Chains A and B, each alone.
Chain A
Amino acid sequence: MRPPRLGVVTTPIVGWTEELTRARLHVVTGKGGTGKTTVAAALAIALATGGRRVLLVEVEERQGIAQLFDRAPLPYAEERIASAPGGGELRALAVDADAAFMEYLAMFYNLGFAGRTLRRMGAIEFVTTLAPGLRDVLQTGKVKECVGRTDDAGRHMYDHVVLDAPPTGRVVKFLDVTKAVQDVAKVGPIKGQSEGVVRLLHSGDTAVHLVTLLEEMPVRETLDAVAELDGADLRPGAVFVNRVRPARLANRSVSAAAGGRVDADRLRAGLTTAGLALAEDEFQGLVEETVEHAVRVRAEQRARELLAEADLPAVELPDLVDGVDVGALYELAETLVDQGVR
């Protein structure tokens, strides 16, 4: 038999667009708790599928990538962490702002022993306090260097770079290098370097993806972030709707149950047909679970409608009840590939 039509609002899911396939730097942001790092990792594997090389970068000194891939903390170096289907390769880098700063200074000055001592004293933290935008400029600068790097044959070292970026509340400030540099450096090498970063971030090579859940707050934050990105002339890419849970009731049952009306006689009769004779409190428990499920599904429908206002391509990832381990990342990546991610 055909499965019953379930309570899902069929918002047209646009999937991955042609425009998105041209991006080489994929910035992934989202409200805290939406699964930004997981999505970034799954996207990186999806993009590496079919023999490409992808770099996954984190900048918040959280070691989220190492935890996700269940390995020791990443050093400040590009390390191979996984392979992708079809001969692809995934490398990861945790950009440490202090190290990036020292690396940067070393390009211009030979500090020798003093560098390490100053670092221990907290001098770098102090300088980045003096000029808060500096940290962001150094980190985006490192990312740009990775995107632009070529091998001896002049080919790009990485086909794609995926950046696990700060959460939505901070991401525009993080990416808006122009503004940060105006505040920080009027002259000198930083200014020259950051002009290249600005060009990259505002070009078609970069897409800023937003991760959300089907809940009101994350969706509202997503819409705010889209407006903010537009305002800063940065390009929103796709919306990743994460942790989508299955809807188990037909549409009309959803509206009734969400209003507290579950047809008890019909339900009991159905359970009896299935050979289940439940005690009254157990039956009431099932009814209560049904009402909660319906209220949630209805809230998700509203979230979807709200999300449609963003008018962006969207891809969906299922909720994984058993949690996310390395194997699950590959499953998620496969779902993305099925939705056209390449």
Chain B
Amino acid sequence: MPAKLHVDKLLDDPATKVIVCCGSGGVGKTTTAAALAARAAERGRRTVVLTIDPARRLAQSLGLRELDNTPRQVAVEGFDTEDRLHAMMLDMRRTFDDMVLAHAGPDRAEQILSNPFYQTISSSFSGTQEYMAMEKLGQLAADGSWDLIVVDTPPSRSALDFLDAPQRLSTVLDGRIIRLLSAPARAGGRGLLKLVGAGFGLFTKAISTIIGGQLLADASAFVQAFDSMFGGFRERAQKTYQLLRSPGTAFLVVAAPEPDALREASYFVERLAAESMPLAGLVLNRTHPVLAKLPAGKALAAAEELDRANESPLAAGVLRLHADRVAVATREQRLLARFTKAHPSVAVTGVPALAEDVHDLAGLREIGRRLAGE
């Protein structure tokens, strides 16, 4: 049996400042983050939940029509936390714009913001969302007005993207390659040029044929304008990275009892350990624990007997659905046991599935109770 993850202890501990919910897509990260935040607020902590999901599911479940780029107080009738629960949704484009405005002079900022390449990078590069989530987390933490910040992570196919994507964006922005592409002769690495040799000119030519010289020129102008503020960017990202490694942060890996989701969870647990990031435990969503001890074989035999005697279809149906449930629970336990074998020290809390999707606060509170094992 894995150690039990005590969610209330984690939420109540004043030393817990940041909770990051990670996991692969479709495992219920957003719902988990919102439920944790609501529960923390009810238990007396001034809490903000930062969500990044473009489907705006959190907005729906918190009864909000719209979440903009700043924390909004969650005011739902019958939910009494005074003013302790706030929620926001990341607007990555606006976060990026704000960063540029804060770091570049007005003229230069204007130049960057209107560059077509900037518009591509700030709205559709696959690492931007993660980078901006980190930036926003950094801002919220620096703000100092929160007891607890709960962060949902972008809906990527891999949980690791959250840690890897900012580095990817850095590589693009730091401009080494763009300098090579736009003006190879002036690029810093002469050794590199020698290595790449004549093929390089061909490559540049091929690229500009394919994507057009204009795009390349835009990119080059962007990188030049961006260069002066890049140090500031990197410094901020570094600071947030340190925040993630600090003892006030708790990572919760969220998974569903499915092989793919648990495999992702495994990778993530290993990665956190490698980066010395503090893991609080695994949230196993949507489990189906058995509620009556009756063995499946016995239930099925009894159901068949009832069918043969043409008696009580209700009881026969109930016995069959119980046997189905035992089979599902057995499989889920087997999958969890496999995970625990590989990661014996990771504490786990199972969240029994609700029969229907959560889309209101009552549902979130119920999830919160289940998270806490009530």
User: How many Å from the CB of A214 to the closest CB on chain B?
Assistant: 12
Chain B residues in 8 Å Cβ range of A22: none
Say which residue of A4, A67, A112, A285 sits within 8 Å of B313 (CB atoms): A4
In the bound assembly, the distance between CA atoms of A206 and B14 in angstroms comes to 57
Say yes or no: is B306 at the interface (Cβ < 8 Å to chain A). yes
Query: Which of A116-124, A141-149, A328-336 forms contacts with chain B?
Result: A116-124
Q: Which residue of B lies closest to A217 (CB)?
A: B357
A33/B26 in contact, CB under 8 A: yes
Q: Of residues A115, A117, A271, which shows the largest number of chain B Cβ atoms within 10 Å of its Cβ?
A: A271
Contact A296 B314 (CB under 8 A): no
Is A125's CB under 8 angstroms from B168's CB? yes
Contact residues in A for B177 (Cβ distance below 8 Å) = 121-123, 126
Contact of A134 among B210, B258, B294 (CB under 8 A): B210
Pick from A127, A185, A246: contact of B324, CB below 8 A. Answer: A246
Q: Are B305 and A274 in contact (CB under 8 A)?
A: yes
- Give A237 to B241 CA distance when docked, in angstroms: 45
Q: Which stretch from A11-19, A276-284, A308-316 is at the chain B interface?
A: A276-284
Interface string of B170-196 (1 = CB under 8 A from A): 011000111011000000000000011
B313 touches A250 (CB 8 A): yes
Which residue of B158, B259, B315, B325 is within 8 Å of A271 (Cβ)?
B315
Given A62-B157, A114-B196, A293-B321, also A273-B355 (CB < 8 A): no
Q: B residues within 8 A CB of A250? A: 313-314, 317
For window 236-254 of chain A, which residues contact chain B by CB distance below 8 Å?
Answer: 245-246, 248-250, 253
Q: Is the CB of B211 within 8 A of A114?
A: no
Contacts of A155 in B (CB 8 A): none
Kindly list chain A residues whose C-beta atoms are within 8 Å of the C-beta of B181.
123, 126
Residues in A neighbouring B206, C-beta threshold 8 A: 105, 108-109, 111
Q: Which of A184-203 contact B (CB under 8 A)?
A: 184-190
Is B293's beta carbon under 8 Å from chain A? yes
State whether the Cβ of A286 lies closer than 8 Å to any Cβ in chain B.
yes
- Of A4, A125, A169, A278, which contacts B317 at CB under 8 A? A4
Separation of A267 and B54 alpha carbons in the complex (Å)? 46
Closest to B309 in A: A273
Please, which residues of chain B bring their CB within 8 A of the CB of A253? 314, 317
- Decide: B291 and A285 in contact? CB cutoff 8 A: yes
Q: How far is the CB of A184 from chain B (nearest CB, A)?
A: 6
B316 at the interface (CB under 8 A from A): yes
Query: Are A115 and B211 touching (Cβ within 8 A)?
Result: no
Given the interface pairs A33-B27, A118-B203, A275-B302, the reply to whether A282 lies near B314 with Cβ below 8 Å is no
- In angstroms, Cα B357 to Cα A299, docked, is 9
Main SS of chain B's interface residues?
helix
**Inter-chain contacts of B205 with A (CB < 8 A):** 109
What string of 1s and 0s marks CB contacts (under 8 Å) between A166-192 and chain B?
A: 010100000000000000111111100
Q: Which residue of B lies closest to A273 (CB)?
A: B311
CB distance from B201 to the nearest CB of A (A): 9
B312/A185 in contact, CB under 8 A: no
Cβ distance A121 to chain B, nearest Cβ, rounded Å: 6
B307 on interface, CB distance cutoff 8 Å: yes
Q: What's the Cα separation between A266 and B316 when bound, in Å?
A: 11
A269 within 8 A of B: yes
Bound form: Cα–Cα A33–B26 in Å: 5
- Check if B40 is an interface residue, CB within 8 A of chain A: no
Instruction: Tell me the smallest distance from the CB of B200 to a CB of chain A, in Å.
Output: 5
Q: Tell me which of A187, A246, A321 has the highest count of chain B C-beta atoms within 10 A of its own C-beta.
A: A321
Interface membership of B198, Cβ < 8 A? yes
A32 within 8 A of B: yes
B291 touching A288, Cβ below 8 Å? yes
Q: Please determine whether A113 and B207 come into contact, CB atoms closer than 8 angstroms.
A: no
> Given the complex of chains A and B, what is the CA–CA distance between A271 and B197 in angstroms?
82
A289 touches B196 (CB 8 A): no
Contact B203 A123 (CB under 8 A): yes
Contact B316 A270 (CB under 8 A): yes
Question: B347 on the interface (CB 8 Å rule)?
Answer: no
State the CA gap A1–B306 with chains docked (Å). 11
Asked if B199 and A115 make an inter-chain contact with CB atoms under 8 angstroms apart, the answer reads yes
A129 lies within 8 A of B310 (CB): no
Q: Decide yes or no whether B242 CB sits under 8 A from chain A.
A: no
B216 touches which one: A62, A130, A270, A295 (CB < 8 A)? A130
Chain B residue nearest to A250 (CB atoms) is B313
Binds A, one of B69-77, B83-91, B119-127, B232-240: B119-127
A33 touches B25 (CB 8 A): yes
Question: Which residues of A, 35-84, contact B by the 8 Å Cβ criterion?
Answer: 60, 62, 67
Q: Is B319 an interface residue (CB 8 A)?
A: yes
Is B303's CB within 8 Å of the partner chain A? yes
Determine whether A215 belongs to the interface, using a CB cutoff of 8 Å to chain B: yes
Q: With contacts A114-B203, A115-B203, A118-B203 known, is A321 near B327, CB below 8 A?
A: yes
Q: Which of B155, B172, B291, B355 contacts A286 (CB 8 A)?
A: B291
User: A132 interface residue, CB < 8 Å from B?
Assistant: yes
Q: Let me know if B318 and A267 touch, CB within 8 A.
A: yes
- Minimum distance in angstroms from A104 CB to a CB of chain B: 9
Could you show 12 A-B contacts with beta carbons less than 8 Å apart?
A32-B26, A33-B256, A112-B199, A130-B216, A132-B124, A270-B312, A273-B315, A274-B305, A284-B291, A289-B292, A289-B321, A321-B324
Closest 10 CB pairs of A and B: A114-B199, A270-B315, A33-B26, A270-B312, A285-B292, A285-B291, A295-B355, A32-B25, A274-B302, A32-B26
Contact residues of B with A, CB < 8 Å?
24-27, 54, 57, 117, 120-121, 124-125, 155, 157-158, 168, 171-172, 176-178, 180-181, 195-200, 202-203, 205-207, 209-212, 215-216, 219, 256, 258-261, 290-294, 298, 302-303, 305-307, 309-322, 324-325, 327-328, 331, 355-357
Given contacts A167-B25, A248-B321, A271-B302, 10 further A-B contacts (CB under 8 A): A33-B261, A109-B206, A110-B202, A113-B197, A127-B210, A130-B215, A130-B216, A285-B293, A286-B292, A321-B331
